[in-house]
Amino acid sequence: AQSVTQPDIHITVSEGASLELRCNYSYGATPYLFWYVQSPGQGLQLLLKYFSGDTLVQGIKGFEAEFKRSQSSFNLRKPSVHWSDAAEYFCAVGAPNDYKLSFGAGTTVTVRA
């Protein structure tokens, strides 16, 4: 069974600074990987996904993530954060031909002025 670890529970970053959120997964083969964002009081919105091919994936809102098979990681990055990026971010892993998604515990991002 697959699983996901997000080591950072809470990150505080200054507006305009770069952001990196860590995600480590456990799965026996090449997984499907996702990053979702949840703004306060909202549902989950897909930021980006990886299935195969180029290991650097571009998403919405200026986010990108890099799949590193050797490290079992799929870290999310943004070069310059905006106050509107304050939210909770979830990494999720899925298996091919299986719709089950396993989510990490989430990382809360606070953006200070």
Footprint on this chain of another protein (rule: CB under 8 A): 4, 6, 9, 32, 34, 36, 42-46, 49, 51, 90, 92, 94, 99-101, 103-106
Least distance CB 91 / another protein (angstroms): 9
Per DSSP, the residues of 37-48 read EE-TT--EEEEE
Residue 19 or 92 having the CB closest to another protein: 92
Contact call for residues 7 and 22 (beta carbons, < 8 A):
yes
Dist. CA 75–CA 91, nearest whole Å:
9
Nearer to another protein, 70 or 97 (CB): 97
